[in-house]
Structure 1
């Protein structure tokens, strides 16, 4: 499950900006087979003294944390290709006069559950069914540790 958490200066992102970002981010993952409901995009507007960069208030800044659980990068090329796609999504900030920073964290899939179940293995028939239904459903590995 990817979680994208945006922290941004007050009024830096409009409601349509947030919806467009969430759609583009979701498309990034569904295009490689992840169920859409795996993708979480969160927005946290920060007041003038809630986000300080270099000890100073910034009125034009976006900080993004990306956490990957469902998939991790297998190769340097995979990582580089993903970061290029992130950069393309975030390029819209330049046109708004915003500065931005992001990082990606990968964590163990074994520490992830949805509705008390371990999600199906990547690209399995069960995961494809979850993607088709766009929701979790009971499956034969629901209470077993994942075999990775």
Structure 2
């Protein structure tokens, strides 16, 4: 699960722009370059994007009303920076550099190019605190997770599908 929450001024984006941005955010984790940048691809349905539109008189930065500001809060739980770095054989700093470069490229047309200021932060939650449809998600790269990836939905799995190949 990456959960993205974007707190935006009211009417900053059309419904089509929201859908396009949500697709591009999902591509960060499940798109053609996610494996080369992070060493993994997540099932697309793991990524959730929520837009919170805020009225100008309810959006304050530094105690001042601000109608050209976007706050983005992301929670990662499906993978950790350390795990991605180990998969790639690179440092956590390099994983973060790759991640923020990708995020910046995706967000630029929607934020900087439109004159918005932005604050962005990522939190990591423990994998063991996560459930989908009442189930603990299968381990990364397990046959069950690969099936979830292919089917793009959660479903029950057997113990045999939890064994991750080590070769």
TM-score relative to the length of structure 1:
0.91
Match of 1:126 in 2: 144
**Residues 45-76 of structure 1: CA deviation (Å, up to 9, x unaligned):** 00122210011111111110010000110222
Distance 2:24 2:11 in 1: 21
Distance 1:80 1:72 in 2: 14
> Where does structure 1 differ by over 2 angstroms across 4 or more consecutive aligned residues?
none
Deviation (angstroms), 1:98: 1.1
Match of 1:59 in 2: 67
Distance 2:100 2:4 in 1: 13
Match of 2:164 in 1: none
Deviation (angstroms), 1:123: 1.1
The count of aligned residue pairs is 142
- Judge conservation of contact 1:12–1:61 (CA < 8 Å) in 2: no
Match of 2:102 in 1: 85
Higher normalized helix content (fraction of residues): 2
Matched, 1:70 2:88: no
Distance 2:58 2:138 in 1: 39
Select the residue among 52, 55, 75 that pairs with 1:47.
55
Distance 2:67 2:56 in 1: 7
What 5-or-longer segments of structure 1 have no aligned partner?
142-148
Distance 1:57 1:9 in 2: 11
* Paired residue secondary structure (2:123): strand
TM-score relative to the length of structure 2:
0.81
Higher alpha-carbon deviation: 69-78 or 9-18: 9-18
Distance 2:14 2:115 in 1: 14
**Residues 95-147 of structure 1: CA deviation (Å, up to 9, x unaligned):** 21111110000110000011111101111111010010010010125xxxxxx
